[in-house]
Chain A
Amino acid sequence: MTESAPQTLQRRAIALVSGGLDSMLAVKVMQEQGIHVEGVNFFTGFCVEGHTHAIRKKDKDKNKRNNALWVAEQLGIKLHIVDISEEYKDVVLNPKHGYGANLNPCLDCKIFMVNKATLMLNKARELAGEKGFDFIITGEVVGQRPKSQRKETMPIISRESGADDRLLRPLSAKNLPETLPEREGWVDRGQLHDFSGRNRKPQMALAKRFGLDDFAQPAGGCCFLTDESYSRKLADLWQARNERRYELDDIMLLKVGRHIRPAPHYKLIISREEGENRFLEGYRYQFTSITTSSCPGPLALIDGKLASDDELRQAAAIVARYSKGRTDDEVVVEVRDPGGVVRQLPVRPATPDQVSPEWMV
Chain B
Amino acid sequence: MSFKACSLQDLTPGEGLRIDSVSPPIAIFLTEEGTVHAIDDTCTHQDASLAAGWVEDCRVECPLHESTFSLRTGAVDQPPAKKGVRVHTVELDGDDVLVELSQDAPNLPPGVKI
Decide whether A and B are members of one complex.
no
